């Protein structure tokens, strides 16, 4: 299939390389990030474009797709396509593409950094020193060495997290319905059913897409059977960890710490969770590195160019 891409609209902050590649290939580009927060205007503007490039800020709902009378392709400069109504796009014959892999290393490194920072109370220590205090006793940490890390979702990011945390001396166990025990063993991850995982894990990190079976995967029921003091890391998607259950578990001591990069609503509305002394958080920064953003910008632009030249497509 060959697409006729004359005009492409970009509505989220994307590295300049995306614009440069599209323009070099004769495609007119309009970047207007204000449209991500102005649905009425986006509904109007989208009519004028053959392609749309977004990150996670723009909600590409069915009405936006249907309003795009000449829209042929939507590109997500990143991994998750949960902000795009892919069913509506398919119904209308609009191609949805992502750039899986472009931000894997950055998301994996961010996960490991959050795990270390949470365990040694680095954000809280920094905050206390900024406030002029010298609290050496208050922030007693623990070692990662010898602890068990459960990785739920053994895809690109889960595997990279495993190898990094193994170098800290952690034992890695995990679950993924599409990965066999033999394949997991190749990454030194012991595959287990979820019910076996919960009572064993000192840390649980999730690296799954947000889909009906993973919604509230970490729930009150899980906290009830997990090790007391289990720590939770979510650099995947808000909604995989039940935020109310997490707050309750932090309050009653069943959860010993949480490191969150993603939230049910972004920016988050559960202020008590963010303010909890045992919760550290970042504003969806998993893929926010120069390297990852350059990669995903170049990849999505090149995929658009390839589509316009009738080359093989990479779908979401
Ligand atoms: P991936 O597709 O490589 O891996 C996801 C894995 O989850 C797959 O192996 C799949 O089989 C598995 N899975 C699906 N359903 C499952 C279930 N019910 N239980 C256990 N495993 C299940 O994806 P990835 O590139 O590793 O990305 C993982 C997540 O991280 C995605 O949600 C993505 O959107 C998110 N992400 C976030 C950031 C960020 O900035 N915070 C950056 C990149 C990716
Ligand atoms: C992704 O799914 O790739 C992440 O949300 C990263 C991002 O685009 O910020």
Cα separation, 314 vs 306, in Å, equals 10
Q: How many angstroms is it from 197 CA to the middle of ligand 2? A: 27
Cβ atoms of 241 and 217 within 8 Å: the answer is yes
Active site residue 136: no
The predicted structure's pLDDT at residue 312: 76
Strand, helix or coil for residue 283: coil
Strand, helix or coil for residue 52: strand
Tell me 193's DSSP state.
Answer: -
- The residue from 284, 295, 298, 299 that is catalytic is 284
| Ligand 1 atom, smallest distance to 262 CA | 41
Dihedral-angle region of residue 310 (phi above 0 means left; psi in -120 to 50 means alpha; beta otherwise): left
Does position 241 have pLDDT exceeding 70, yes or no?
Answer: yes
- The residue from 127, 195, 266, 291 that is catalytic is 266
User: Which residue has the CA at smallest separation from atom 11 of ligand 1?
Assistant: 178
Cα separation, 186 vs 86, in Å, equals 33
What ipTM was predicted for this assembly?
Answer: 0.99
pLDDT in tens, 51-69: 999 999 999 999 999 999 9
Does position 39 have pLDDT exceeding 90, yes or no?
Answer: yes
The predicted structure's pLDDT at residue 314: 65
Cα separation, 181 vs 167, in Å, equals 21
| Ligand 2 atom, smallest distance to 55 CA | 8
CA angle (7, 11, 14) in 5-degree steps: 95
The predicted structure's pLDDT at residue 10: 98
pLDDT in tens, 158-205: 999 999 999 999 999 999 999 999 999 999 999 999 999 999 999 999
Mean pLDDT of the chain: 97
User: Which ligand lies nearest the alpha carbon of 14?
Assistant: 2
CA distances from 182 to 31, 165, 200, 208 (A): 46, 20, 20, 20
The predicted structure's pLDDT at residue 313: 74
The answer to whether the CB of 56 is under 6 A from ligand 2 is yes
Cα separation, 169 vs 108, in Å, equals 17
Cα separation, 45 vs 38, in Å, equals 11
Ligand 1, CB within 6 Å, residue ranges: 79-80, 100, 103-104, 107, 152-158, 175-179, 207-209, 213-214, 235-237, 261-262, 284, 286-287
User: Which ligand lies nearest the alpha carbon of 233?
Assistant: 1
Cβ atoms of 263 and 234 within 8 Å: the answer is no
Does position 264 have pLDDT exceeding 80, yes or no?
Answer: yes
**Confidence band (pLDDT; 50, 70, 90) for 311?**
confident
Active site residue 284: yes
| Ligand 2 atom, smallest distance to 284 CA | 9
Active site residue 121: no
Instruction: Give the CA radius of gyration of the chain.
Output: 21
Does position 316 have pLDDT exceeding 70, yes or no?
Answer: no
Does position 1 have pLDDT exceeding 90, yes or no?
Answer: no
User: Which residue has the CA at smallest separation from atom 6 of ligand 2?
Assistant: 287
Please report where in the chains the tokens 């959860």 appear, as a residue: 255
Cα separation, 281 vs 50, in Å, equals 38
pLDDT in tens, 6-22: 999 999 999 999 999 99
């Amino acid at each position: 299939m060959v697409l006729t891409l004359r005009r492409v609209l970009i509505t989220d902050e994307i590295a300049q390389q995306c614009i440069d590649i599209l323009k070099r290939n004769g495609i007119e580009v309009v970047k207007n990030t204000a449209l991500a927060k102005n649905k009425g205007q986006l509904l109007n503007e989208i009519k004028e474009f053959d392609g749309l490039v977004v990150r996670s800020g723009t909600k590409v709902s069915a009405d936006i797709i249907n309003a795009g009378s000449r829209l042929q392709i939507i590109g997500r400069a990143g991994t998750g396509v949960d902000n795009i109504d892919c069913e509506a796009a398919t119904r209308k014959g609009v191609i949805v593409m992502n750039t899986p892999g472009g931000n894997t290393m950055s998301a994996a490194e961010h996960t490991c950094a959050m795990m270390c920072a949470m365990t040694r109370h680095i954000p809280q220590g920094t905050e206390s020193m900024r406030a002029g205090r010298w609290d050496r006793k208050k922030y007693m940490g623990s070692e990662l060495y010898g602890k068990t890390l459960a990785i739920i979702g053994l895809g690109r990011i889960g595997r990279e997290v495993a190898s990094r945390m193994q170098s800290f001396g952690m034992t890695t166990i995990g679950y993924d319905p599409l990965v066999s025990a033999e394949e997991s063993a190749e990454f030194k991850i012991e595959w287990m059913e979820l019910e076996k995982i919960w009572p064993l894990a000192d840390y649980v990190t999730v690296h799954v897409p947000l889909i009906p079976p993973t919604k509230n995967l970490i729930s009150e029921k899980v906290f009830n059977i997990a090790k007391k003091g289990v720590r939770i890391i979510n650099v995947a998607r808000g909604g995989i960890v039940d935020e109310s259950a997490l707050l309750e578990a932090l309050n009653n001591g069943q959860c010993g710490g949480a490191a969150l990069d993603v939230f049910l609503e972004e920016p988050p509305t559960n202020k008590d969770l963010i303010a909890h002394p045992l919760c550290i958080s970042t504003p969806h920064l998993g893929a926010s590195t120069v390297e990852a953003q350059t990669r995903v910008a170049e990849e999505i632009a090149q995929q658009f160019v390839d589509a316009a030249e009738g080359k093989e497509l990479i779908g979401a």
